[in-house]
A and B are shown apart, each in its own frame.
Chain A
Amino acid sequence: LVTNMVESKAKASTARARIAHKLARYVRATPVHLTSLNGSANPSTSHLTLGGAPKRRLRNSQNTWYPADDEKPFIKRASKQPRASTGRASVRPGSVVILLSGNNRGRRVVVLKRLASGNLLVTGPHSVNGVSLSRVNPAYVLSTSTSVSLDGVTANVDDSFFKRGKRFTKNELKNASEHRLKVAAEGKAHEQKWREELKTVQKSVDSALLANIKKVDHLRGYLGTRFTLSNTTRPHELRF
């Protein structure tokens, strides 16, 4: 730290010493040989004009080292939190998308909304193509330009709705502990309750949605048909 500390003003006459004073981070208040044993009330400030800006003074009575420069202001940087994704621009509530994977691949379904987890809440509607209320990863979906009006459709469903009860395999339940049997029974009860709840929510959502679908010519048939590639279709040339 020798380069950061400048001993005294006395040697500041040489160019090198003046530069050292300017660049020093810590400056002695008074030269060492002038420092009394008890120390003065306030450190000498006669050197403070050297280099221009006044340097900060220690409040204590000892002539000790103190930082030469003004304190740097502490700037609180915005923490590097990832921003919430806005999702795919081409997929909006009400748009019709084609499922690319899973049991219902090829099915054209209606997007109801984007859930907090980033997945899409979709419904067939169930009576049209057998797809019930479910969550879909937006990357596994082909977006189309077709959309359905969502007037009067309220889907008060979020990610917690899809939390399922714990299920165990037959082997896991063999000689199971009491705790496990209890959890299994709870899971089964939750599952039954969930299926009934799904039916009621599905009905309420689909009835409103079907009314909107019927207003558009051919839309019901369109949603009931599955998408497939043929020998002549090229996905990179298709416009959906």
Chain B
Amino acid sequence: LINHMSEAVAAAQKSKKIAKAGPGRQVRLWVRAKFLSFRRSKVAQNTNQTILRLEGVNDRTAASYYFGKRVAYIYKTHSGKAENRFRTIWGRISRSHGNSGAVLARFATNLPARAIGSTLRVMLFPQRG
């Protein structure tokens, strides 16, 4: 049994802060990222690509560590059973954006506009090398 749960369940349980079976406090293995905006020009935006500002990442070289890393947008819904109430949209960081460490990410389905300004989770996987 490969030790990796399906992403949706993993994300849901992470965000619900359920004390996992066994001892140990909650661990954070993801980097906070602000969803700044969709990639855009002055008058038009491309909702396929999101601009993220990762916490503590201030230049292009630092941002390159996060290329390919998976990003999760987690949101709550009213409907569904308790364990299904947290939902995720997964994406990946594709490239840098500018010189100050912002990155572009693309998601399986485009993020909703209400996510702008919210915190996304940039996971530390997949690890390279």
Decide yes or no whether B17 CB sits under 8 A from chain A. Answer: no
Contacts of B28 in A (CB 8 A): 228-230
Decide yes or no whether B19 CB sits under 8 A from chain A. Answer: no
- Asked if B31 contacts A235 (CB within 8 A), the reply is yes
Give 1 or 0 for each of A134-152: 1 = CB within 8 Å of chain B CB: 1111111111000000000
Give 1 or 0 for each of B22-34: 1 = CB within 8 Å of chain A CB: 1011111111000
Q: Is the interface of A mostly helix, strand, loop or mixed?
A: loop
- Asked if A235 contacts B3 (CB within 8 A), the reply is no
Q: Is the interface of B mostly helix, strand, loop or mixed?
A: loop
Which B residues, 104 to 127, have Cβ-Cβ distances below 8 Å to chain A?
123-127
Return A115 CB to nearest CB of chain B, in Å: 10
**Chain A residue with minimal CB distance to B7?**
A101
Count of chain A residues with a beta carbon within 8 Å of a chain B beta carbon: 36
* A105 vs B3: C-alpha distance when bound (angstroms): 9
Q: Which of A90, A100, A101, A130 has the most CB of B within 10 A?
A: A101
Decide yes or no whether B82 CB sits under 8 A from chain A. Answer: no
Contacts of A135 in B (CB 8 A): 1-3
Which B residues, 1 to 59, have Cβ-Cβ distances below 8 Å to chain A?
1-5, 10, 20-22, 24-31, 56-57
* A146 vs B106: C-alpha distance when bound (angstroms): 35
Given contacts A137-B4, A140-B4, A234-B57, 5 further A-B contacts (CB under 8 A): A88-B127, A88-B129, A135-B1, A136-B3, A139-B127
